[in-house]
Each structure stands twice: as structure tokens, then as C-alpha cells.
Structure 1
Amino acid sequence: MPAGVMTAPRLAPPSALPRPLKNMTSTTGLSLGLNHGSDGQREASQTADSELLKTKGKDDDYESRSGSDNLEGGSCEEQDAEPPRKKRYHRHTPRQIQEMEMLFKECPHPDDKQRQELSRELGLSPRQVKFWFQNRRTQVKTQQERSDNSVLRMENDNLRAENVLMHEAFKKISCPSCGGPATVGEMTFDEQQLRVENARLKDELDRVSAIAAKYLGRPIPPYSSYQPQISSLPLDLATSASYGSTLLPSALVQGRSLTDSASRPGSFSDAEKPLVVELAVTAMEELLHMCQPDETSWMPSIDGPKDILNYEEYIRQYFRALGAKPFGLKTEATRETGIVMMNGISLVEILMDSARWMEMFPCIISRAFTVDVLSTGVAGNRNGALQLMYSELQVLSPLVPTREFYFLRYCKQHVEGVWAVVDVSVDVLRDNPPPSLMRCRRRPSGYLIQDMPNGYSKVTVLDHVEYDDRAVNNMYRALVNSGMAFGAQRWLATLQCQCERLASLLATNVSTRELGVIPTANGRRSMLKLAQRMSNNFCAGVSASTMHTWTTLSGTGENDVRVMTRKSENNPGEPYGIVLSAATSLWLPVMPQRVFQFLRDESVRSEWDILSNGGIVQEMAHIAKGQDPGNSVSLLKVNALNSSTCNMLILQESSIDVSGSLVVYAPVDIPAMNIVMQGGDPGCVSLLPSGFAILPDGPERLTLQSESGIDISRTGGSLLTVAFQILVSNTPSAKLSLESVATVNNLISCTVQKIKAALNCEHI
């Protein structure tokens, strides 16, 4: 078992946007292979494709061969211009390769300043560093091409197998009129043309029916309801089934029926593509108007400086996109504008990449992936990119259900330095969406990004959803209904905080005084990476995600302790075995800022942390990762009572913004942390994070009834979630014992009571 990982038997676990945008017009900018585009659009698309091929060829010529052996001399183009000469090779040392690999993971294209600094640290010339990065990029590119070729080869094999199955099915087709054979080879040319025309007319009918249903507000019966049912496989099934084949994974193509294909959000047919484009363009137009400061759909709030949505005016102007609000759902519309420490193009790239988008918002997004890419945009950037995505949004508490969306994400550059990225749910394109998608849907929402001269961006975030709050616990309902749990304020605050953290991670001009006990800048970077992994793992295991199954251990009120177990077998950076997660959420009549400062203060940690066992806790290292002093990473040393020796190290990260705060920590192995502080790979440290999520209880005064029947009026309080992750067995196949569950229940209950006592809240 890795040292520093908590185990149950030992009972020692861690306790403004510019006015000129008003007159802008938007065009689709999409290239989806549609038949309704103009000749000019097709020529522009072909020109963009040819330019992309030329650029790709240039990039391929520029990259040199891969490998850790670096050729001293010019690049490939320079070598062609010079006369032949004897080549001299230099083999890098393992340390040089490790340092350059670490920088390559963060920045594959380092600038001159970064290359100069790296060359000084490693004893290499800037030319050697430059060519090593060229070679490494070529190697990664080659590996990716091999992987893509392998995937394409598998899809090709699947399509061949499907083709064989279709041919076999054609041989068994019988004529619906006479019952005789009707194979393709026995049909006349006129019969084949009639069947093709029949398939085209059916697609046209489906398209018109969808448009009619959209404006009539009720579904139109499909074409199949007007036709007799035929038990055998009809010929036009092959034509209909092929429409979605490029939009689904190859593993889903074989054996699927037309009904299954139509029910999946990713299976857009050619007849549906015009509707998809129309929905994306309409959503983009709505986003641009709704982000304007003088938009009439917003009106001042009587409770504060924030604007609120005038729903009647909004529906009058923007009914076209998704129609009226479904019965039983509530409306949540928020808008925020702020300055972000990142340029517009980099921010757009993060938003259009589901993995990087999820990594940028780990406390909000529990799951996200791209279902299908309908357009990659023009050559060289994301202008016109359109893709279908899935996301599951969370609040860090088991008491708040997650929100699931299948949505279109459309990116467009309107003028130089101004980008917009819009999201809109696709349930309007489906007659029978999944039940989970009926609980909430996303109206046109997104980001309006304007570059600033200093490399920053001015970002306006619009979040507009319709949701069902009946499953939200009463303790969190005021927070959710105020828009503070999922709204624009939280998105923008998290983005600003994460951009500051990223800038701190990539910083190279760090003073010796700021490093403290950390010997090098690489050690500082490794500690920040380890802390980021720790916090991301904490956020992933706290919410009521559909991937989790929480079990209530005790009580029937709001302060229940909930647990879940999972097997940790192939998770890098985690111990091997069975991990038990325990969490509870409670309300405290204390301001969130005070709770945050108390929990992150190492001088009073012994008042609540059972792990410290009453010992003295000192801060060994401190790394600031933002302008707010509360955003930091610390390495804490726990000394036992009456002893000067270090018995334990704790890695702690604290984060705070206007939407909430986090304090996450984990005991760490001392030898492994020494490697990390020397600049080693943070993946060598195995840890299980625990910690606290602190949220405001909402802007409104809330009156609840306690278990004793007494009304409790709360205002200005905090919603605190306490969560532990503990290794209860080294064997993934072992059964969870009742003793381990009881130990965890006692641990989290004891921690909560100590926190209440320290904050003078024992009566709550």
C-alpha cells in the first residue's frame, strides 16, 4: 500500500461589450455538404480546403524527424540549401529529456524566451532545444496519424461487413404486391429510379413535417404511420440507415434499427442538417442580441444591481429558436461581464475542445464529450465550427441533481478580435428525447469574447436554461433558484480563477524568495500540477452525478452521511484497491468567507482535523496561484506532540471566488514529495483527496422547518459539504465490511461536530 494513503482500520484519515456589435449580421460559415448552398459558398469552401492542404504540407516539410537524438545543425530546409557535410549527433541525457518532456506537455511550441531559459538550465544551446521540440512534435503527429489510421481502418472493416449484410438482406426481399423476388439485379432501370425517387420524397416529407411540427407546436405523424407495416426488411432501409452512418461510432452502426438511430441525439440525417444549421444560426443571432447592454429583454432587478430577464419581452422577440417554455420547468437567465487573463483565440480553442473545457471547469462539469463534429470551420481557425456535445453539470454536493444536456456548440468570428461561442439544446429536433433531457434544456447561451491590447479578453457570459427543481434538496433550493449554482457568475468566476492558475503554472520568472523551500521553478510547477490533480479528483467524487450511486448511512434529515464505493485498479496516481467516498452537506449560520479562512488556517487545524491528532501544523511551502491570497497551494508539516520530528506531510490547495470556495487536502508520502519538489513527475505521488466545498446559501432570506418543528430563518449563512476518500481494502475484489462503513461514518460525523464547535454552531 502506498505511504500517505488513508486507510479505514488505522482511523487516521484526513478529516462590457462594445456598441458596434449591435449592427452586426451573422452568416452560417458552415460546410456540411448541403445541397442548398450557393455557388459562391461552395467555391469558398473549396478554396479553404485547398489552403488547408497547402498549410498542412508546409507544416509537414517544416517538421524534422522524431527521436531523442538531436542533430546539431540547421533544419530540413536549411540542410537542403547547404552542401553535404558530415552529420554530428548529440544524445541528450535522461534529465534533459525529462525536463523538455515536462515543458512539452504544457507548451509544445515554446517561445524564444522559454527556449533560452531551458537551454541555460539543461546546458544545451537554444538551437538544440528548438530542434528537439520540432522532432517531438513530429513524433506526436506521427503517432496521432497512426492512431487515426487504425481507427479509420476499423471503421472501413465495419462498413464492409455492413455492406455484406445488406447485400444478403437484398436477396431475401420480396415484392409487397406479388410476393415474388425483388433483388436489385432483377429490377429494371425504371424500377430502380422509382425507388430512388421514393426515398428522396420520403426525406423531403420528413423535413417538411419537422418544420411544420416546429411552428405548429405539436408533432406530425411520421411517414411510416401512413404505410402498411412490412415484416421483411424493405429496400429503402439501406438508404435511410446510411444517412447516420458517418455521425455514429462504427460499433453502433451494425445491428441498429432505423428507430434506434432516430432516437439518438447524434444521428442527424441529411434531411435534418438544414434544421441543425438553422438552429445554430438562430441561436448565434440571439446570443449577440442578448449580450448587448441595452437589450430590452433585460430589466433592472429590485433586489440588487444585477439585471433579470423580462420573460414576456424575451418570448415576443426570440420565440423562433426553441418555442415556449415546457410546462413545469423554471427559467434561469443570468449574464456577467469581466476581464479574463487569456486571449480570445486560446479561449475559443479551450471551449471547442471538450476535454480541455472540462479541465478548465472541474468544479462545474462532471462529464463532457463531443458526440459529433459537423463542421471544423475554415482553414486555420474555428470560425464556423459546429459540433454536437454532451455535458453533465454539477454542484459539489450529493443533494443537488446534475443537469444533463445534448447541445450544439457553434463558434463564429464576427470581426477581427471578436468571437462568439453559442450553445443550444437539440431536444427541439427530436420528438421523444430521453427523460433525463426533459428535466432541463439550454436556450441560446454562451460566450462573447473581445480581445484586448494587453493579451487579456473581455468576456460576456450568458447562461439561459429551463429546469425542473423538484429533486433539489430544500437546503440548496434558494441557491439554485437564484442562478448562483449554475449561472453566468459561477462560469465567469471559475474561468478567471483558472486562467490565473494557468498563468502561475507557466510562469518562469519566479524569484528565489517566492520559491521558499522548493529548490527550482520546475519543482514549483510539479507541485502545482499535483495539487490540480488532487482538486480535480475531489470534485469528480462529490456530486450527485449519474455515474455515482450514493447510499444513506444514518438519519433522515438534511445532515445525512452518504457513501459510495468504487474500485481503483488502473487509475494513475491512486492506490490499488477499494475506495470508499463519504460526504455530507450542512448549513452553518456563518459567512462563507469566515468558514473558508478557518478551514485553510493551519494554526487552528488541530481543532477539527483528526488526522493531525492534536499535533502542531506548520506550513513548509506556499505557492500563490492568483491575486487573491486565498488561492494558494501549501505543503503542511504535522509534528506530533512533544516531538520535533516530522511525522506527516499534507498537501493542501485552497481556491476562492465570488461563487464559492474549496479547501482540498491529502496526506502525501515524504520521499515522493521530495521528488516532486525537485521537479520530478507528480504522477509518482499516490493520493486520495478529502476536503470541503463552501457555497453561499443564496441571496434570499430562507425559512425552513427543523426536525423539531421549529422554523429557522437563515440569511448570510454557508452551505458546507464535507467529503472524505479512504482506501478500505488493497484488493479490488474484496467485500466492504460493516466495520469500515461504521468507521467512516464516525469519522465524518466527528469532524462535522468539531467544526461546529469551533465556529460556535453546536445548536444547529
Structure 2
Amino acid sequence: MYQPNMFDNLHHHHLVDMSHTTSENNLDMLRDVDEHDSNLGPPSGDDQDPNLPANKKKRYHRHTQHQIQELEAFFKECPHPDDKQRKELGRRLSLEPLQVKFWFQNKRTQMKAQHERYDNTQLRNENEKLRADNMRLKESLSIAACPNCGGPAAIGEMSFDEQHLRIENARLREEIDRISGIAAKYVGKPTPSYPDVSSHAPSSSLDLPASSFNPQQAMAGEIFGPNDLMRSMAGPTEKPLIIELAIAAMEELIRMAQVGEPLWIPISDESSQVTLSEEEYMRSFPRGIGPKPMGLKSEASRESTVVIMNPIALVEILMDVNQWSSVFCGIVSRAMTLEVLSTGVAGSYNGAMQVMVAEYQVPSPFVPTRENYFVRYCKQLDDGTWVVVDVSLDNLRSSSVVRCRRRPSGCLIQEVPNGYSKVTWVENVEVDNGPIHNIYKVLVNSGLAFGAKRWVATLERQCERLASAMASNIPSGDVGGKKGILKLAQRMVLSFCCVVGASSAHTWTTLSGCGPDDVRIMSRKSLDDPGIPCGVVLSAASSFWLPMSQKQVFSFLRNENIRSKWDPLLNCQPVQEMVHIANGRDPGNCVSLLRVNSANPTQSNTLMLQESLTDSTGSYIIYAPLDVASINVVLSGGDPDYVAFLPSGYAILPDGPEVGTGGSVITIGLQILVDTVPTAKISLGSVNTVNSLIKSTIEKIKSLVSNNL
């Protein structure tokens, strides 16, 4: 039962509107499509025919200046209003809903034409620039001389100019085709076809211009230490080797993603899953990165899906290390770009190449992380397909113990209608898994923990989340509040994933948890981080097994009716969902604001921000207590980065490769502020209390599960 006095300070109208407009678990809200865009409404003004009889004349309406201003303002926030919004606008402006509908259709058509004219002008200007550059490069080729004999230069000695010319020619041809297509649409003329100039140029081993290295030494040193900095100091003789290795890896990945048997063998007749034939792989790709080191085990997998994002946006995520590690925060615990060999061509990532280091994790302190030092290469093929490939550079290091090597791995991205993309992902690694807790052995050894299926499922879910965050078909008054809540929830998820894994990169001091069955407890002193409460923070994490499927455990932990029986942060108080923001197709993917129904006046201002995430390979329930004042700041358009909180929650994974059957392994993570003074010393009693809290919570969950089986 609601207690009104708990929300005296809360902007009630924000919460009511948001809960009403964001509870739709339907992907229609994610798609900016209006089936009537092509049907323009009747003209407004004096365009009617004066020769028509009086009773046959169409009725027209000239909008007032006030009406136009209001419609323009609403259009900026929501160019595709729904029926309810059109009726509300009509009522407020004394217009019929049909008049509002036609105005918006005409406005969208007008804006589309303006954008196309602008794009046409921009493309023509760029086309002229490319033509001039093309002529300049041709002239430089015609007068090039051999530095040794002074005669005409051989083809192999003009690799940079030649490759630059080929890339610019291809870019020029694409722009000409695009401009011609736009022109043909306006004047009705057929689109001419242009010859492929670059196809007549001799081939070369280099496929992109290599720029100078740009090491980010200071930041890399803070995160990865001096050993990784030594890796970044690649000499002039190593750069060509890295480029050649990346180009060969690109060719291998394309074949790995496209061919079937005998390279990829179906696991069973009923399943679409395939496994790699190592014998056929070595026969098909004899060179590669060298023979498999002793003690390493091969893991290879391939998976495909269609995601709600266009190829350009996907490439930007993969080539921006911050976006990449954020989108895949459940898999990538830390990452850094060490060198940039090429930024791409003509403002795109086509031809971009960078040397990186990354650490991969399973969300549990009981599974060792994997670290890779690799080059990432991005290229757009002639058919428009984008390819992003990673390959290890460990063979360039003189002395190091390699626990994980990344053979050519990555994805092919093909554009499909409606702004979607088909993604084919290949993971091919050689790894020494090391000591793994028994409850995770089957999952890790099967390859699912770090395999292509997990990457693809995470990408699909995150694309739906990003599409939901960018959706504009909600009332303008709710846009700021919804986006602020989603941004706050995203930061909460990132923070949780940083503290539950086995990564040693974080600024925490391990206090306990050396044994395989212990609770790992770490401490951190927060002083000047606006997103974390000031003081001493304890983080505790542990993993356990339940005889329930991943989906069943996810539903169990989200059940509000029994949550107070096991959640240590609720103090046995019931909770009630106030706001629900859908994040994708699955109803379990959502952000919620929960109210703690407490009889204690000191807890009457407590709310709970929670994000639930689920896909076929894993689920998360992550939440953090917040006061009403903090939520009001976000709902009013304030910066969510300055809201301090400590996320806790649960990561749920299947206990083996057969998703949907068997049991689950659950990682519980708690963060608690034990002292508001950053310089305070941590007492043994605080550590014991947190340790007991984690273990008692696990026992409560196990007991409730056994009673419900």
C-alpha cells in the first residue's frame, strides 16, 4: 500500500507520466516509422480551385501563428506523434486530430527534402575535392622516380601513393554513384555506371596508408602497468609486420565467417551450432600466427544475428575503445588503445588500424580473466560489408608467458532493411584457463563463457537498449527524465561489472577471499569521485550454484512479493515498482524505480533504482538505494554523473553450454559504505559483518529456492 507522505518531495507528475508512457514492452516504440509518411495531407492556404461549386469546394484551414509555433516546438521533440498525442495537441490548439496529422506529415516531407538538398550539396563539394586529390595523386605517380637509380619507380616501391590512389578512387566512385542516385530521384534520369578505376591498378600487400604511432602512455601506464607500455614501443621494423598480419587476419576472418563444412562441423542435426575442425583449419590457414603453444587449448565458435542498429553505428562502437568496453562491460573488464596506425580514410573507419590491450572476464571472482595484446583492423568491402578483425601480437614480444592468444577473431556487419544489421561473429582463441571453480568448469571449458554466442547475445541486447534510450516518441516533458534515469542506470551497471569480476586492475585492496569458496572482500577509499559516496567502501562478492535454469533464477530474484525475505538492503521491508522503462523485446529488460514501503520514518525517503538485463547467455539484476532528492535532480534534467550511489546485484549464468536446461551459477555483489571518513581504518568487525551478510543472503536464497522446487 502506498504511503503518500513518502513522496512529498517527489515530482509526482514526472513519475506518473513516465510510468504511463514507458511501460510498453513493444519494439514499435523503438522504430521511427510512420506508415503514412508518403500520404501528404490537403494543402493549407489558398490553393483551392475557385472554379469548383461552392458546395464542392474543399475545406481548408490556415493555421494561426500561435498554432504554428506550438506545432513547431512539439515537432522538435517528437516528429512522429501517436494518436493520443495528436488528439491532445488538437484539443489544446483547437484543431482536428486529422489537421494535426496532415501538418506533421507535410512537415516531415519538407524536412526530408531540405536534408536531401543539403546532402546533395555536401556530396558535390566533397566529390570535387576528391577529383582534385585524385588528379594530384595521378601526377605524383607519373613523375615518381626510383631513389636508387633515378629511373621510373617500380610498382612495389610506390606502395603508399599507389594504395592511397586506390582507396581514394574507390571512395570517389562510391560518392559519384551516391550523388547520381540522388540526382536521378529528382530528375527521373537513369543512374550511370562508372568503371572501377582501382580494379586496373596492380595489387599490393598493403591495403591502407599507415600513419605514425600515437601511444597513450600515461593512461596506459595507470591501467596496465610498465610491461604493457613496453609492448606499445613498437619499432619501425615492427609496423610493416603488424600491418601485414592484420591484412592476412582480415582475409582469414572473412573466410571463417562465410564457409561451412568441412571447416565448420554441425554439432547435431537439430542444432544450428557448429564447431571448428582444427585439422581443416590448419590445412586451410597454414601460416597464421604460428603453431599453438604448449599447454594452450583451442576455443572456436561462430554465431549470427540481426541487430537493431545500422552498420556505421556498430563500427563506431567497435572502433572506439570506450564505447566498446562500455557496451560489452559484462565481458570486457578493461581495455586501452596503445597505438593508432591508421585513423581511416575520408572521415570513416575504413582502413582504421589500432594496437590494443584488453582484459576479458566472466562476472565472478572465481573465473580468471584473459588478457590479449592485439591489433584491430577495420575495413569496408566492395559489397558494402564492414569487417572488424582482432589478431594477437604476442609473437612480437621477445619474452613473455602467453596464457591467451587471439587468432583472427571479430565480425562481419552487413546492412539489412530498416536500419538493421546482420552480424556474423567469430571467436577463435588459444587459452590456458588455469584454476577454475568447479561450478564454472563446464561453462568455461565448453567455450560459452567467452564464445561468439555470448558476444552476439550481449550486442543484440545492448542495441535494443541503445535504441530505447534514443527513442523520441514520448511526450516532451518526459524526455529529459527518461534519458537521465537510463544514463544513471547505465553507470550503475558499469560500476557493478567492475567490482564482481576477477580483474586486478581496479583501485581496491583485497582483504579476504583467497580460498576457492570464500567471499572476496575488497576496500576502497572514496574522496573526490562525485559518483561514489565519500568515505570507506567495502565490496564483497561470491558465487554459488542453484538447481534452477537461468530464466527461473532471474524471475525468482525479480519477484517483488518475496524479495524482502532475502534482500539484505531492504531490511525485510516490501518494495513496489513505481516507474517502469522498457529496454527491448524481452519484458525482463527494463529500468525500474522501486519504492521501499517502510514504517520507519528514517527510510521513508528511500527509493531503489534497478536495471534488469537478460539474454540467452546471461542475466543481471543490479540496483542501488537512492534518496528522493537525487531522483528529483535527475528527473529535473540534472547531471546523473553527480548522483552518488553504490550498486549491488546479481549476475546469473547457465552452468553449462545447454542454455535453458540444468542449473545456474549466480554471483552476488554487495557494496557498503562502512565509514563516511575516507581516512578511517577498516575494522575486522566490519569485514566479518560483510562476510556474514553475503553468506546469510546466499543461504536465504537457497532455502527459498528449495522450498519452491
TM-score class, shorter: 0.5 to 0.7
Structure 1 letter corresponding to 2:294: F
Match of 1:282 among 248, 259, 266: 248
Q: Secondary structure at the match of 1:349?
A: helix
In 1, Cα distance between the equivalents of 2:568 and 2:502?
A: 26
Q: 1:677 to 1:324 in 2, by over 3 A?
A: same
In 2, Cα distance between the equivalents of 1:654 and 1:453?
A: 29
- What is the match of residue 300 of structure 1? 266
In 2, Cα distance between the equivalents of 1:604 and 1:677?
A: 29
Whether the 8 Å CA contact 1:297–1:314 is kept in 2: the answer is yes
Match of 1:392 among 332, 350, 359: 359
**Equivalent residues in 2 for 1:538-577 (5 A)?**
538-548=496-506, 551=510, 553=512, 558-577=516-535
Match of 1:408 among 352, 360, 375: 375
Q: How far does residue 296 in structure 1 lie from its aligned partner after superposition?
A: 2.9
Structure 2 letter corresponding to 1:737: S
- What is the match of residue 679 of structure 2? 733
Deviates more, 1:652-661 or 1:372-381: 372-381
Report how many aligned residue pairs link the two structures.
507
**Equivalent residues in 2 for 1:426-465 (5 A)?**
426-432=393-399, 434-435=400-401, 438-465=402-429
In 2, Cα distance between the equivalents of 1:263 and 1:623?
A: 43
Structure 2 letter corresponding to 1:666: A
- What is the match of residue 342 of structure 2? 375
Q: Secondary structure at the match of 1:675?
A: helix
In 1, Cα distance between the equivalents of 2:701 and 2:266?
A: 39
Whether the 8 Å CA contact 1:552–1:561 is kept in 2: the answer is no
Whether the 8 Å CA contact 1:396–1:542 is kept in 2: the answer is yes
* Cα deviation digits, residues 42-78 of structure 1 (max 9, x gap): xxxxxxxxxxxxxxxxxxxxxxxxxxxxxxxxxxxxx
Q: CA RMSD in A?
A: 3.4
- What is the match of residue 500 of structure 1? 464
Q: How far does residue 761 in structure 1 lie from its aligned partner after superposition?
A: 7.2
- What is the match of residue 326 of structure 1? 293
Q: Secondary structure at the match of 2:463?
A: helix
- What is the match of residue 471 of structure 1? 435
**Equivalent residues in 2 for 1:158-173 (5 A)?**
none
Q: 1:364 to 1:263 in 2, by over 3 A?
A: closer
- What is the match of residue 453 of structure 2? 489
Q: Secondary structure at the match of 1:530?
A: helix
Whether the 8 Å CA contact 1:524–1:679 is kept in 2: the answer is no
Q: How far does residue 559 in structure 1 lie from its aligned partner after superposition?
A: 3.6
Q: How far does residue 608 in structure 1 lie from its aligned partner after superposition?
A: 0.6
Q: 1:263 to 1:654 in 2, by over 3 A?
A: closer
- What is the match of residue 619 of structure 1? 577
Q: 1:323 to 1:740 in 2, by over 3 A?
A: same
Structure 1 letter corresponding to 2:693: L
Q: How far does residue 250 in structure 1 lie from its aligned partner after superposition?
A: 7.3
In 2, Cα distance between the equivalents of 1:692 and 1:291?
A: 34
Structure 2 letter corresponding to 1:484: L
Q: How far does residue 443 in structure 1 lie from its aligned partner after superposition?
A: 0.2
Q: 1:618 to 1:555 in 2, by over 3 A?
A: same
Q: How far does residue 602 in structure 1 lie from its aligned partner after superposition?
A: 1.5
In 2, Cα distance between the equivalents of 1:363 and 1:352?
A: 18
Structure 1 letter corresponding to 2:426: L
**Equivalent residues in 2 for 1:124-135 (5 A)?**
none
- What is the match of residue 83 of structure 1? none
* Cα deviation digits, residues 453-480 of structure 1 (max 9, x gap): 2101000010111110122222211111
In 2, Cα distance between the equivalents of 1:344 and 1:292?
A: 18
Whether the 8 Å CA contact 2:213–2:339 is kept in 1: the answer is no
Whether the 8 Å CA contact 2:215–2:340 is kept in 1: the answer is no
Q: Secondary structure at the match of 1:441?
A: strand
- What is the match of residue 665 of structure 1? 623
Matched, 1:691 2:655: no
* Cα deviation digits, residues 394-417 of structure 1 (max 9, x gap): 110000111111100011111243
Q: How far does residue 251 in structure 1 lie from its aligned partner after superposition?
A: 7.2
Whether the 8 Å CA contact 1:553–1:745 is kept in 2: the answer is no
**Equivalent residues in 2 for 1:698-717 (5 A)?**
698-699=656-657, 716-717=662-663
- Which stretches of structure 1, 4 residues or more, deviate above 3 A after TM superposition? 111-118, 244-252, 260-263, 302-305, 548-556, 641-647
Return 5+ residue gaps in structure 2 as ranges. Answer: 1-73, 90-106, 112-210, 220-225
Q: How far does residue 274 in structure 1 lie from its aligned partner after superposition?
A: 2.0
In 2, Cα distance between the equivalents of 1:643 and 1:346?
A: 48
Q: 1:733 to 1:245 in 2, by over 3 A?
A: farther
Q: How far does residue 670 in structure 1 lie from its aligned partner after superposition?
A: 1.0
In 2, Cα distance between the equivalents of 1:453 and 1:610?
A: 47
Structure 2 letter corresponding to 1:333: A
Matched, 1:362 2:326: no
Whether the 8 Å CA contact 1:478–1:700 is kept in 2: the answer is no
In 1, Cα distance between the equivalents of 2:600 and 2:673?
A: 29
In 2, Cα distance between the equivalents of 1:717 and 1:322?
A: 38
In 2, Cα distance between the equivalents of 1:431 and 1:423?
A: 21
In 1, Cα distance between the equivalents of 2:353 and 2:484?
A: 36
Q: Secondary structure at the match of 1:540?
A: helix
Match of 2:587 among 629, 636, 639: 629
Whether the 8 Å CA contact 1:247–1:268 is kept in 2: the answer is no
In 2, Cα distance between the equivalents of 1:262 and 1:420?
A: 27
Structure 2 letter corresponding to 1:739: G
- What is the match of residue 267 of structure 1? 233
* Cα deviation digits, residues 656-705 of structure 1 (max 9, x gap): 0011000001110111112222333222321000000000001379xxxx
**Equivalent residues in 2 for 1:310-321 (5 A)?**
310-321=277-288
* Cα deviation digits, residues 609-650 of structure 1 (max 9, x gap): 133222231111111011100001111111125999945211
* Cα deviation digits, residues 394-444 of structure 1 (max 9, x gap): 110000111111100011111243110000000122232x33xx0001000
- What is the match of residue 637 of structure 2? 679
In 1, Cα distance between the equivalents of 2:361 and 2:311?
A: 26
- What is the match of residue 134 of structure 1? none
In 2, Cα distance between the equivalents of 1:350 and 1:368?
A: 13
- What is the match of residue 698 of structure 2? 752
- What is the match of residue 418 of structure 1? 385
Return 5+ residue gaps in structure 1 as ranges. Answer: 1-110, 131-243, 253-259, 513-518, 702-713
In 2, Cα distance between the equivalents of 1:650 and 1:326?
A: 49
In 2, Cα distance between the equivalents of 1:680 and 1:246?
A: 39
Q: TM-score, normalised by structure 2?
A: 0.67
Q: 1:277 to 1:762 in 2, by over 3 A?
A: same
Deviates more, 1:642-651 or 1:384-393: 642-651
Q: Secondary structure at the match of 1:312?
A: helix
Q: 1:112 to 1:648 in 2, by over 3 A?
A: closer
In 1, Cα distance between the equivalents of 2:503 and 2:481?
A: 35
Q: How far does residue 511 in structure 1 lie from its aligned partner after superposition?
A: 6.1
Q: Secondary structure at the match of 2:250?
A: helix
- What is the match of residue 346 of structure 1? 313
Q: Secondary structure at the match of 2:500?
A: coil
Whether the 8 Å CA contact 1:337–1:460 is kept in 2: the answer is yes
Structure 2 letter corresponding to 1:746: S
Q: How far does residue 116 in structure 1 lie from its aligned partner after superposition?
A: 6.9
In 2, Cα distance between the equivalents of 1:445 and 1:246?
A: 23
Structure 2 letter corresponding to 1:487: G
Q: 1:671 to 1:547 in 2, by over 3 A?
A: same
